[in-house]
Structure 1
């Protein structure tokens, strides 16, 4: 991540030169300023809507993963738009695309399935080989007796 932050300015400077040679300096500056303004607007909108969308998803009984990935992508995209430059703007616009967010959701879901559920149980609660086994003993309790009597085991003992 820090390598990207260090290299980004070195990638953005040639982008400024190429775009200003292609469309001119004034239109290039207008695009940069527009990108910053749009980025600020996206960040404000994400900040206001993320919690509301999360609550709605949970109220509908949906997994919150899609809502969280959407909010994270829009927040990161908005932040990248506020950075002057065209490389960061292209990455930001890619984060706004639904197929990009769906791809990231699938990648995140795969990560959680392997790392969280990988200690014994799968995503649907099914046991995975080598994990989730609890050793113990049990006995069947005779439930034909009234509630006031202590429970009796099948072998006739009281179990106490």
Structure 2
């Protein structure tokens, strides 16, 4: 299901579920439940923020588990706390799933598998960074190929592109013998 459609449907489902449960057990019970879950989620988020870094540092020092696994475990717990803060029964159920260790491990493995597939399909070499591009000489057909240097003398936002000095150098000479304005 696409994310925009889920974002539109989820609040409607949450509201419908709150109305249905409220008609069965009473509106005050539903409001009390929602407020209790908000307070619980805020306290859990506060607790997890402080304890997760300490626990990750201790695990890293002792070598008990990989730091990435510990951080991902704490990330899913924090996601569960945030889901508890969001009012609704479906988000509360999803939050409780984030606190079950077996389900957390399954979510972590699924997330790693998705990242591996995404990396394999799009590749590491995105945004034009391909191995074949690095061996090409960018200065192949220019004055720079002969060892010349172009010194720009005006501002970078200048409208005239030829306002500088071309310092001609031969590749075997170490000092420049002349310069000409272009």
For 2:51 and 2:78, locate their aligned partners in 1 and report how far apart those are by CA, in whole Å.
11
The 5 A counterparts of 1:1-160 are: 1-61=3-63, 62-111=65-114, 115=119
Q: Classify 1:112/1:86 alpha carbon distance in 2 versus 1 (closer, same or farther; 3 Å).
A: closer
Deviates more, 1:6-15 or 1:30-39: 6-15
For 1:5 and 1:49, locate their aligned partners in 2 and report how far apart those are by CA, in whole Å.
31
Name stretches of at least 5 consecutive residues in structure 1 with no aligned partner: 120-160
Q: CA deviation at 1:18?
A: 1.3
For 1:109 and 1:44, locate their aligned partners in 2 and report how far apart those are by CA, in whole Å.
27
Paired residue for 1:131? none
Q: CA deviation at 1:2?
A: 4.3
For 2:5 and 2:99, locate their aligned partners in 1 and report how far apart those are by CA, in whole Å.
23
- 1:49-88 CA distances to partner (integer Å, 9 max, x unpaired)? 1211211121122311321122111111111111111111
If asked which structure has higher relative contact order (CA below 8 Å, sep 6+), I would say 1
Q: CA deviation at 1:21?
A: 1.5
- 1:126-160 CA distances to partner (integer Å, 9 max, x unpaired)? xxxxxxxxxxxxxxxxxxxxxxxxxxxxxxxxxxx
Name stretches of at least 5 consecutive residues in structure 2 with no aligned partner: 124-182
Output the TM-score relative to the length of structure 1.
0.65
Output the TM-score relative to the length of structure 2.
0.58
**8 Å CA contact retained: 1:19, 1:28:** yes
Structure 1 stretches of at least 4 aligned residues deviating more than 6 Å after TM superposition? none
Paired residue for 2:130? none
**Structure number with larger C-alpha Rg:** 2
Aligned-residue RMSD, C-alpha = 2.1
Higher strand share: 2
For 1:11 and 1:66, locate their aligned partners in 2 and report how far apart those are by CA, in whole Å.
33
Q: CA deviation at 1:99?
A: 1.1
